[in-house]
Structure 1
Amino acid sequence: MKLYFVRHGHTEWNESNRIQGSQDVDLSKKGILQAKKLANKLQKKQLTISKIYSSPQKRAIQTAKSISNKLAISTVVKEGLQEINLGLWEGLTWKEVQEDYASEFNVWFHNRRYQIAPEGESYQQLMVRVMSVLEEIIDQNQEDVLIVTHSAVIMCLQCLVHQKAFEQMDHYRVKNTEVIEFDDCTLHLLKSLI
């Protein structure tokens, strides 16, 4: 069984480098186009996707629906697949966070896995909730599935797979509508690493 992880399409907040996190931001016109292009590309590849799962955030749902409509596969919105909650930093740029929350940012930056952003969650907490949902998805499916989610989710999974510190997650940055493939055995092994 394969799990294809897709980062949602472009948003206006991506354009302005604003931290989206748990905020419910729509796709931009560019993001809608990206989602349509991805849907066409997936159709041409003729992957054996049996179901599409999506984060409950608008930008992910809109991306998933575009793919769902093209491939004629149902989409299941799944709580737990949403982006990390970065609390008071959401809506700000990273530059603004470094200026306005200098000491908190410094502590967080050097211990990203376990440090919690003010009124947010840690990447560790993100991974615990995501892995719980992924286990459920794997248990309920035998065929390949596509999961539309967010940058931090995919970067954290890749850090775990490659056994890298979460402070190195920028090496696994994913573009909007980029597809990353994992198999279910790899994801089962990850559970022991969180």
Structure 2
Amino acid sequence: MHLAKMKLYLIRHAESEHNVAQVYAGVTDSALTNHGMLQIEKLVDYFRQQDVRFTRVFCSPLQRARVTADALKYHGDTEVQLFIVPCLREKKFGSLEGKSWVSSHAAEKQGEGNFVPAESHEELSSRARGFLDDHLFPLLHDGEDEETVAVVSHGIILSVLWRTLKQMCDPLNLTFGPFASLDSHSIIWSNTGYLELELNGMPSNLSIKGVLAALSMTRSKERWNLSSGLRHNII
């Protein structure tokens, strides 16, 4: 049986207009800001400097993820295929879609008769497992000898995806940087922040090594900051 090795990059989309407005925009499309476009340029430059060559790019169908992913499918004159996968979309927030992070809590507590609940944890987990089973794990069996895969999505579903991967792995086969937490709940995904993983084996005997990384550009100073060594400061 042919088993491939995989470098997996779980990447959050660049800054969107709804991020700046501080409103819930789970499945609502939101354009990227000018700052977000600059974040993409810096992310692409960084991967190029590190000679990261993606063999496949998967992304959410939402605009903020698609635009981010589209820039990652090129390496020089080479273009890899971009796969748009519906199950990588962000969590549905129901009646909270488009509402302020602050004011929405009050609306939720009022228990309005037409209030639509947000997508459940079980539904999110089912989507994450579906992506792994249908798209990612087959590459470990039938893909290239060494796959380098980018998954461009959203903060909540990326955390669920990482938690699902971690739960499938024997703790003895899971290693991480000494200062980076393994707890998916502690990961605050910055725009264009990413989790870099190395996967070996099949789901029944999966081995994972990883580092948490952040490429964070400060708006006030318009400066690109990259932590060195173990990159664990997702903020």
TM-score (norm: length of structure 1): 0.78
Report if the CA contact (8 A) 1:54-1:78 is conserved. Answer: yes
**Residue 195 of structure 2, aligned match among 156, 180, 185:** 180
**Residue 61 of structure 2, aligned match among 46, 51, 56:** 56
| Structure 1 counterpart of 2:195, one-letter code | I
- 1:29 maps to 34
Aligned runs of 1:142-157 on 2, under 5 Å?
A: 142=144, 143-157=147-161
Aligned runs of 1:79-94 on 2, under 5 Å?
A: 79-94=86-101
Inter-partner Cα distance in structure 2 for 1:86 and 1:100: 13
| Pairing 1:97–2:97 present | no
Higher relative contact order (CA 8 A, sep 6+): 1
Inter-partner Cα distance in structure 1 for 2:30 and 2:40: 15
**Residue 118 of structure 1, aligned match among 116, 119, 122:** 116
| Structure 1 counterpart of 2:188, one-letter code | R
- 2:127 maps to 129
- CA-based RMSD of the aligned residues comes to 2.7
CA spacing shift, 1:70–1:130, aligned 2, 3 Å? same
CA displacement at 1:26 relative to structure 2: 1.4
Inter-partner Cα distance in structure 1 for 2:51 and 2:109: 48
Select the structure that is richer in strand. Answer: 2
Deviating above 6 A after TM superposition, structure 1's stretches of 4 or more consecutive aligned residues are none
Inter-partner Cα distance in structure 2 for 1:120 and 1:186: 35
| Structure 1 counterpart of 2:18, one-letter code | W
Report if the CA contact (8 A) 1:39-1:70 is conserved. Answer: no
Which structure has the larger Rg over C-alpha atoms? 2
| Structure 2 counterpart of 1:45, one-letter code | Q
In structure 1, runs of 5+ residues without a counterpart are 105-116
CA spacing shift, 1:130–1:187, aligned 2, 3 Å? farther
CA spacing shift, 1:16–1:159, aligned 2, 3 Å? same
* 3-state secondary structure, aligned to 1:49: coil
Select the structure that is richer in helix. Answer: 1
State the percentage of identical aligned residues. 24
In structure 2, runs of 5+ residues without a counterpart are 1-5, 172-182, 207-235
| Structure 1 counterpart of 2:13, one-letter code | H
TM-score (norm: length of structure 2): 0.66
Inter-partner Cα distance in structure 2 for 1:158 and 1:119: 24
| Pairing 1:5–2:32 present | no
* 3-state secondary structure, aligned to 1:15: helix
Report if the CA contact (8 A) 2:54-2:73 is conserved. Answer: no
- 2:222 maps to none
| Structure 1 counterpart of 2:45, one-letter code | N
Aligned runs of 1:69-88 on 2, under 5 Å?
A: 69-70=74-75, 72-88=79-95
